[in-house]
Amino acid sequence: MVLLIDINILLDYLLKREPFYNDAKEIINFCGEDNINGYIALHTITTLWYILRKVPDEQRRLTLKSVCDIFEITGTTHDEVINAIENSNFKDFEDCIQTKCAKTAKADYIITRNPNDFSLSEISVLTPQEAIKLLNTIK
C-alpha cells in the first residue's frame, strides 16, 4: 500500500502536538513497515526545514534525515503545478499540490487531519484514525 502523508501528520509527530501525537506516531510506525510505502511531498521537507528553524542545526538535520529514512520524497511536474494554479475549485493551493504529488507517487491514500481540504482530490483521503483502522486489518 502506498500512502502520502500530509505535513500536519508529521508536525503532530515531530512537535508532539496533543491530542494528535499518538495517531501520528502510529501512522509513521506503519510507514516504517515493509508492506507500507510512505511518501511525503518535496515541499513538505522544505517546509519542515523552515518550521524547525529554531531547533539547533545539527538536531534539525538529524530529524529531517530520519524523516527521509522512513519516507520517500515525491514531487510533481511543471504541468501539474500549472494545473494546480489554474484549479480555482481547489481552495488551498498547497493541498492541491499534495494531491498532485500523491498522484505522482501512485498513492492509494492521502493521510491528513483535514479531509475536507481534499474534497476534490483525485486520490482517496483518510484521517489518521481511518488509516490506522484500515492498516490494522492488513497487518
- pLDDT computed for residue 96 by the predictor: 87
Q: For residue 77, count other CB atoms closer than 10 A to its CB.
A: 11
Rounded CA separation 82/54 (Å): 33
Neighbours of 84 (CB within 10 A): 18
- Taking the C-alpha atoms of residue 75 and residue 104, their distance in angstroms, rounded to an integer, is 7
Give me the architecture of the 2-138 domain, per CATH: 3-Layer(aba) Sandwich (3.40)
- Tens digit of each residue's pLDDT (9 = 90 or more) over 23-49: 999 999 999 888 899 999 999 999 999
54-109: pLDDT as tens digits? 999 999 999 999 999 999 999 988 998 898 888 887 878 888 899 999 999 999 99
Going from N- to C-terminal start, the domains of the chain cover 2-138
* Longest distance between any two alpha carbons in the chain, whole Å: 41
Question: Three cell numbers at 41?
Answer: 511531498
